[in-house]
Chain A
Amino acid sequence: MSTVNPAIETSPDHGHADDHGHGHEHHGSFISTYVFSTDHKMIGKQFLITTLLCLFAGGALALGVRWQLAFRWEAMPFFGMLFKAEGGQISPEFYTMLVTMHATVMIFLVIIPILAGAFGNFLIPLMIGADDMAFPILNMLSYWFMWPAIFSFGASFFCAGYGSASGWTTYPLLSALPEAAPGSGHAQTFWLIGLTFIGFSSMMGSINYMTTIINMRAPGMTLFRMPLTIWSMLITAILQSFALPVLTAAGFMLVTDRMLGTCFFIPSGVVVNDTAPTVGGGQPLLWQHLFWFYSHPAVYIMLLPAMGMVSDMLACMSRKPIFGYKPMVYSMAAIAGLGFIVWGHHMFISGMNPALGMTFMVSTVMIALPSAVKVFNWIGTMWGGRLVFNTVMLNCIAFVSLFIVGGLSGIFMAAVPVDIYIHDTYFIVAHFHYVLFGATLFGCFGAIPFWFPKMYGRMMSERLGKIHFFLTFIGFNGTFFPMHLLGVSGMPRRYADPYQHEYLSHLLPMNKVMTCFAILMGFAQLILLFNFFYSRSFGKPSGRNPWNANGLEWTAPSPPGHGNFESVPICYRGPYEYSDPNHSEDFWLQTDRPAPKSGDTPPVIAGH
C-alpha cells in the first residue's frame, strides 16, 4: 500500500497544518488559522475534535444509564458526589436526565456534526476539486454556532434538576410545563436554545454544501462522476435544509409556550404538580408531528453521509469499482424522498388517526427497499475484490454487517400491529443503536483513519486501530444485541428500575452482562482518542495517496495547503476506476489524463 504514484510524489509536510506552501502562501495569525479559521479543512478538523470529545461526554452519560440498569439504586460514588444524589444513588430524575442528555449529546453534538460538519467540511471541496467552500465565513460560523449549543446543553446540567429530562424528543407537556418534571425548568429552555443553535449551525452548513457541490466542481467532475460521499452530502444537505426549518419553528413554539404562555401544545384543563398552568387550547400531538417531520429525515441525515463514505472506502479497499453506482445514487435519493413521508411511524400508538398509521406503514416499509439495494450493492462491491483487511476496511465491513441488523429490525417497528407491542421498548433502543452506532459510528471509525493522512499527513496506527475495532465491535454487539431480546420481553425504555415489575425482574443478570460490555466498549474509545492524538504528532508520514485511491483529494498534498490543489484538477473519469484491466495500476486517479487514442507519447501531467 505504500507505493505512491511517482507522478505526484511530493515531499510531505508532516503534521504542519499551518504549512501552506505550493505557491499559496497565506500567513495568518494564530487566531485566524486555528480558531476563527475560514479554511474548510481547519473547520472540518475543529468539528472532528469537538465531536470526538463530545462522544466521550455522551458515552459517560450512557455508562451512567447502564450503571443504574445493572446496579440499580447502588451508590455511584462519583456521580453521587457530583450531583448531590442523596445516599449516592442515581435518583430517578437524574436517570431521566442521563437518558435525555445522552441522546442529545450523541445526536446533536456527535453524529450530525461529525458527518456533515467534520467530514462534509473536510471532504467536499477536496473531493470535488474546489479550493474551499462557497461561503467560507458562513462555514466558520456554522462551527462557531455549535459552541453556544454546547454551552446551552452544558448549562442545562447546572440548572435545577440537572439537565433536561423529558427525553431527546421533548414531548410536551413534559417539556412544556416547568412544573411537570425537575428538568423542565430553565434546563429545558437552555436545551431548546441549544437545539436552535445546532439548527442554525446545520442550516449554514447545508446551504454551503449545496452551493459548493453544485457550483464549484472541478472541470470534468460531472454529477455522475462525483464520489458517493459527495452525493450523500448533497442529499443530506437538501434533506436538512427542507426539514430543519420545521423543527426550528417547533422549537420556537415550544419556547413561547414555556415563556410566553402561547399554548400551542398545551391542552385545556391540565393540573400539574398542584399547579393549573394556563388556559390551554393546544394539542400535544402537534409537537410530535412537527418534531418528527424533522427528526425522521434527521435519522437519514445521521446515516446517509456514512453510507457515502463507506461506499468510497469499500471500493478503495476492495480495489474494485463500486457495484451499481447509479442504483446507489438513486437509492440514496429515494431514501431522502421517502424520508419525508415516514415520520408518522414514530407516532403509531400516539392516538393519531389510525388511517395515517396505515399509510405511514406502507411508506415506512418501502423505505427499507433502497436500504436493501444499498446493502446488496456493498456486498457486490466486495464481491471478487482483492480485499485489504486494514482498520478502515474492518470498520466498513462492520458497517455493512451491522446495518443489516439495524435495517431488518426496522421492519418490525414499521409493521404497525407489531409496533403496538414493541413500541417504546428496548427493541427500538436496539434498532437505533444498530443504525446510529453500528452503522454510522463504525463508518466514522473507518473514515477517520482513511482520511486522517489527508488531514495531518500521517497515518494512524494500524495495530491500535485494530485493537480499538475489535474491542468496540465485541462491546457493541454484547451491549446492544441483547436489547432486541429485552424488547421482545417487553422491557420499556427509559425505566430507571424496570425490575420492580415482576415480569422483568429476571432480566437483571442479562443487563449486568450488557453493562460489562458497555464499559468495555466505553474504555475502548480511549484507544481511539489516544491513537488520534498520538498519530497526529508521531504517526508514520503518509504521502499524498497512501491508499492508492482515485479521488481528487488524493492528488493534493497531505495535508493540503491553503487552496488545496497546486493547480486546478481536471477530472477525466469517475472515482471508482480500480483494477481497470486497460490500466497498468490497480487504481486510476480521476485526474490522470487518459492515454491518447493514437500516438505513443506518454502523457505529461501539467504542473509537475
Chain B
Amino acid sequence: MKRFWCLFFMFWPIAAFVLCWIAPDMNWWYPSNGPTGMIAASPLGKKIDSLFYMILYITTATFIGTQVALGYVLFKGAAATDEGNTSKAWYSHGSHNLEVIWTVVPACVLLFIALYQMDVWAEYRVKTSFPQETKRGAIAEVTARQFEWRIRYPGLDKDGQPLPLMPKPQPTDLYTVNDLHAPVGTPVMIILQSGVVQHSFFLPELRIKQDAVPGLDIPVWFEADKSGNYTLLCAELCGWGHYKMKARMVAEPEDQYLEFLRNLSKSQNYDGVPDAATEVAAGE
C-alpha cells in the first residue's frame, strides 16, 4: 500500500504537467477568439506573454525538480520500512551548506525575476515611459458604470477631424455604449473613470487590465496589432451584473476610425427628418 501512495503522489504532478502540456492544443490557454489567435494582440501583450513564459519555464523546472525530489524521498522512505530493514532513520539535523545553497540560488533567481519585470511594468503604467504617440492626448473617456461601459469621444471639427478630448463633457462630444473604437497599429490612450463602484477595464486579447476607481481619472494606453473586434469586459466585482459588462473594442485603420466618428456624429445629431444632407452642428 505504501508504494501505491508513493505512486499516487507522483501521479498527480504528471497529470497536471500533461494537462498543461496539452492545454494550448485543447484551447484551454490564452484566449483565441480574437483576430490574432492565441498570440497577444499588442506589443505590450507579447512582452507580458514572454515574461509569463519565462516564469512558467522557471516554475515548471522547480515544480518538476521538487516533485521528483519528493518522489525520491517517498520511495526511499517507503523502502526503509520494508521487512527486514531494521536500521534506524538517518539521524540528521540538516546541512548548513545545503541551506546556504537553497537559500542563495532561489534568492538570485527570484531577484532576477523581479528586476526583469520592471521595464514592462514601467512602460505600461509609468506615465513618463508611455509611448510618444499617447502624448497627443486621450482618444476617449471610458466610464464604467453598473453595468456597462459608457464611452465619450471628442466631437469633430468643421473638417471632420476629431477635436481634443476635454476633461469635462462638451456639447460636441459623441457617445457610445459598450463599443470602444480605436485606431489600429498605434498606441492610443483612454481616460478610465468609474461612475459608482470599482470596475476593471480588461482587454484579454491585449493583456490589458486596469481598475476603474471612483474619483480617479486613470490613463490607460494600449495598442492593437491587427484590425478586428476584441473583447472588453469587467474584471473587478462591481455588483450583481458584474458578468454583464460585455463590450467590444474595435481596432480599425485610421480612416475607418474617422468614418466611424463621422457616422456617430451623424446618427447622434439625427433629427428625425430623413434627408439629413445639411448637418446641424450641435452647440456652436
A residues contacting B by CB (< 8 A) are 91-93, 95-96, 99, 165-167, 171-174, 177, 180-182, 267-273, 280, 282-285, 318-325, 327, 349-351, 354-355, 357-358, 361-362, 365-366, 368-369, 372-373, 375-377, 379-380, 382-389, 394, 397-398, 400-401, 404-405, 408-409, 411-412, 414-418, 420-421, 423-425, 470, 473, 477, 481-482, 484-486, 488-490, 492, 494-498, 500-504, 506-507, 510, 576, 578-581, 586
Contact = CB atoms under 8 A, between A and B. Distances in A.
13 contacts: A91-B240, A165-B240, A171-B237, A283-B215, A354-B121, A354-B122, A354-B125, A357-B125, A379-B73, A384-B89, A411-B113, A503-B205, A506-B27
Contacts of A361: 114, 117-118, 121
Given A384-B89, A401-B67, A96 B240 contact: yes
A503 B243 contact: no
B23 A485 contact: yes
Contacts of B195: 270-272
B47 A507 contact: no
A510 to B, nearest CB: 7
Contacts of A490: 30-31, 202, 204
B32 interface: yes
Given A96-B242, A174-B237, 9 more contacts: A268-B215, A322-B94, A323-B92, A382-B73, A385-B80, A408-B63, A409-B59, A484-B20, A504-B31
Which A-B residue pairs are the 7 nearest by beta carbons? Answer: A267-B215, A387-B77, A384-B90, A324-B94, A93-B240, A490-B204, A354-B125
B276 interface: no
Interface of B: 1-2, 5, 8-9, 12-13, 15-16, 19-20, 23, 27-34, 45, 47-48, 51-52, 55-56, 58-59, 62-63, 66-67, 69-70, 73-74, 76-78, 80-81, 88-95, 98-99, 102-103, 106-107, 110-111, 113-115, 117-118, 120-122, 124-126, 146, 195-198, 200, 202, 204-205, 207-216, 218, 231, 233-244, 246
B241 to A, nearest CB: 6
Given A421-B209, A497-B243, A173 B94 contact: no
Contacts of A92: 240-244
Contacts of A322: 93-94
Contact of A415 (B80, B114, B246): B114
A524 to B, nearest CB: 15
Given A404-B66, A485-B19, A365 B98 contact: no
A269 B200 CA distance: 19
Contacts, number: 343
Contact of A284 (B94, B122, B198): B198
B236 to A, nearest CB: 6
A412 B240 contact: no
A349 B234 CA distance: 13
